[in-house]
Amino acid sequence: MTRPSWAPEGIDLDRPSASRVYDYFVGGMHNFEIDRQLARMIEQFTPNVAETMRANRDLLRRCVRYLTDAGIDQFLDLGSGIPTVGNVHEVAQARNPEAKVVYVDIDPVAVAHSQAILADNPLAQVVHADVADPAAILADPAVTKLIDFSRPVAVLLLGVLHFVPDDADPAGAVARLLEGCAYGSYVAITHATADGQPPEVLEAQKLSGRTSTEIVLRSRAEIATYFLDWTLVDPGLVHLPLWRPDNAADVGEHPERSGAYGGLARKD
Ligand SMILES: C[S@@+](CC[C@H](N)C(=O)[O-])C[C@H]1O[C@@H](n2cnc3c(N)ncnc32)[C@H](O)[C@@H]1O
């Protein structure tokens, strides 16, 4: 197939990617037929998957609003994805024009498109890196220029750690990313789980192996360890729609069907 102008050279157009499948589910335009085919197959096993992805994106916006209102003005957004409406810098800078954001993603399409939309925004930059390589992220010039770790920072790990296999030590990577953060910093995590899910979820999980980033479903107890000893903000680590909904009606009858947990914790 022909490579569209927004897709950087060298990407594999014959293999679906997690970021483009997510982009499709949240209504974005940066995905190929190969991504949409996989999305439709996943949907056969988990019909509410698009709802889950939107619930994740909605939590991101609520969380960034919460953080900006709490005085946070610097964000390190890991696994940031292909920019779509309501990105972290848009939500944060709408409330505080001085807010700084560094996006990090492993996917070249996500990085290229982020670079394009951030070209005129000196307070937001994007880094091409693997979240499992915290040393590279923390040493990156964009991070050292924009993020001052002696002041409170928000580290966002939304919908990304389930792409990090156990042998890449996600817990160690998170701990390394958080260890240098000042008191008053926050970490936000959302993560897919099989807890309480029908067995078909495992079929959908296997399909994710067609991308270069297979999903690892983890239990609530395991996800909770990523927050270290930081203090969870109310209501704790909960199914996505239950995390500080704007309206009670947004929660729906079955928040557990989101198949993912989300939480925010502060370093006290
Ligand atoms: C489901 S999207 C989440 C996007 C955004 N954080 C959100 O919550 O709306 C997951 C993103 O994580 C990226 N990703 C997957 N594995 C990664 C890794 N090891 N390091 C950095 N990014 C990764 C994918 O490329 C994708 O863009």
Q: Which tens digit of pLDDT belongs to each residue from 227-266?
A: 999 999 999 999 999 999 999 988 988 898 889 999 999 9
223 touches 206 (CB < 8 A): no
Q: Which residue has the higher pLDDT, 43 or 123?
A: 123
Evaluate if pTM is beyond 0.85: yes
Task: Report the C-alpha gap between 255 and 263 in whole angstroms.
Answer: 14
Q: What is the share, in percent, of the chain residues with pLDDT greater than 70? A: 100
> If you measure from the C-alpha of residue 104 to the centroid of ligand 1, how many angstroms do you get, rounded to a whole number?
8
Q: Ligand 1 pocket test: which of 23, 113, 163, 264 has the largest number of ligand atoms within 8 Å of its C-beta?
A: 163
CB of residue 111 inside a 6 A radius of ligand 1? no
Per-residue confidence band for 99, with pLDDT thresholds at 50, 70 and 90: very high
Angle between helices 18-25 and 108-118 (to 10 degrees): 60
Q: How far is the CA of 218 from the centre of ligand 1 (A)?
A: 16
Q: Ligand 1: does its nearest atom lie under 6 Å from the Cβ of 262?
A: no
On average, the pLDDT of the chain sits at 93
Give pLDDT, residue 176: 98
- 114 CA from centroid of ligand 1 (Å): 13
The reply to whether ligand 1 has any atom less than 6 angstroms from the CB of 103 is: no
Atom number, ligand 1, closest to the C-alpha of residue 130: 20
